[in-house]
Amino acid sequence: RKHVDLIGFPVNSWFNIYSQDGSNEEELHQASKEIHQIIYQEMKGGRDPRQIVLGGFSQGAALALYSVLTFPRRMGGLILLSGWYPANMNINPLKARQSCNVHVPVLHCHGLLDIKVPMKLASQCRSILSKLLSSYQYKEIEGLGHEVNSAVQHFAAIFMKKVAKANTKSLPLYIKQ
């Protein structure tokens, strides 16, 4: 979709971001419905949702997080790269604890030099998710900005091997920004 960034330039994105503290909640919800439909299509094809690891980068990570926490079936896992917990996500932690996905394995990687999704947002996300999710891993990467490097790829590969070991048929479903 075409939206505008925080300074008014047109960008491709899942939903509008109005500030570091607020996004368009309805657009976030609608985008997650699209992700849910992709998962349902996989399920119609015979894939168990526990075989699906949802992941995203930046805004895609925020969407993946929202999508997993609101999906009504247990997923295989979640990978968040340079992501955040949208402040207006309208998922209060008490309600989210009742999600069937609070026990899925989660890997969250963030670069210490990221200026697009500042460490403040990563720290807020870590603070919330470390209390909310039972299998949450957080990795800060020195010298990394708003990007993915070989260290992140290494952490993701190790994470996927662990998830696959738990379910040998596990295959990832990626969200690209």
Q: What amino acid occupies position 85?
A: Y
Q: From start to end of 120-161, where are the E strands?
A: 136-141
Q: Based on the number of CB atoms within 10 Å of its own CB, is 80 exposed (0-12), middle (13-18) or buried (19 or more)?
A: buried
Consecutive H or E run containing 110: strand 106-111
Is residue 3 annotated as a catalytic residue, yes or no? Answer: no
DSSP SS3 for 12:
strand
In 3D space, the residue among 110, 94, 92, 108 whose CA is nearest the CA of residue 148 turns out to be 110
User: Choosing from 13, 67, 114, 170, which is the catalytic residue?
Assistant: 114
Report yes or no: 71 and 96 within 8 Å, Cβ to Cβ. no
Catalytic residue among 23, 58, 67, 170: 58
- 5 an active-site residue? no
146 is catalytic: yes
**What value, to the nearest 5°, has the Cα angle with vertex 133 and ends 159 and 107?**
20
Both structure tokens of 32: 């997650």
Q: Which residues are catalytic?
A: 58, 114, 146
